[in-house]
Amino acid sequence: MTRYLNKIIIPEKSELLAEECGIHFGDGYMKIRKDGWGVHYDYTISSDIEEDSTYTKYVENLIKILYGLNASYKTVRNKRDFHLLYSSKELINFKLKIGIPLSPKENLIIPKWIKEEKTFCLAFLRGLYDTDGCLMFKLKSTKSKLHSYPCIYLSLKDKTLINEVALLLDKYKFTFSIYKHYKIASNGTKTLTWDLNMSGTKNLENFMKNIGFNNRKHLTKYLIWRNFGFCPKRTSLNEREAILLGKLNPLYLECLGGDLNSQSLPYESRVLPG
Give pLDDT, residue 3: 52
pLDDT digits (tens, 9 = 90+) for 217-259: 999 999 999 999 999 998 999 999 999 999 999 988 887 654 4
Distances in Å between the Cα of 271 and the Cα atoms of 59, 193, 242, 248, 256 are 33, 40, 10, 5, 14
pTM of the predicted structure, to 2 decimals:
0.89
pLDDT digits (tens, 9 = 90+) for 254-273: 876 544 444 444 444 555 54
> Is 254 contained in some domain?
no
CA 267 from chain center: how many Å? 34
> Is 246 contained in some domain?
no
> Is 253 contained in some domain?
no
> Is 245 contained in some domain?
no
**Range in 7-21, 97-111, 190-204, 245-259 with the lowest mean pLDDT:** 245-259
Domains in the chain, number: 1
Distances in Å between the Cα of 201 and the Cα atoms of 12, 133, 149, 206, 208 are 36, 17, 7, 8, 11
> Is 247 contained in some domain?
no
Give pLDDT, residue 130: 98
> Is 83 contained in some domain?
yes
The more confidently predicted of residues 31 and 187 is 31
pLDDT digits (tens, 9 = 90+) for 61-110: 999 999 999 998 887 767 788 899 999 999 999 999 999 999 988 999 99
pLDDT digits (tens, 9 = 90+) for 117-161: 999 999 999 999 999 999 999 998 888 889 999 999 999 999 999
Give pLDDT, residue 23: 98
Enclosing domain of residue 147 = 3-231
Give pLDDT, residue 100: 96
Q: Which stretch of DSSP H or E encloses residue 5?
A: strand 3-5
pLDDT digits (tens, 9 = 90+) for 43-57: 999 999 889 999 999
How would you class 198 by CB atoms within 10 Å of its CB: exposed for 0-12, middle for 13-18, buried for 19 or more?
buried
3-class DSSP assignment, residue 130: helix
CATH of the domain at 148: 3.10.28.10
> Is 266 contained in some domain?
no
> Is 239 contained in some domain?
no
Which residues lie below 8 Å from residue 10, measured CB to CB, with a gap of 6+?
A: 2, 3, 4, 90, 94
Q: Which amino acid is at 251?
A: L
Give pLDDT, residue 175: 95
3-class DSSP assignment, residue 257: coil
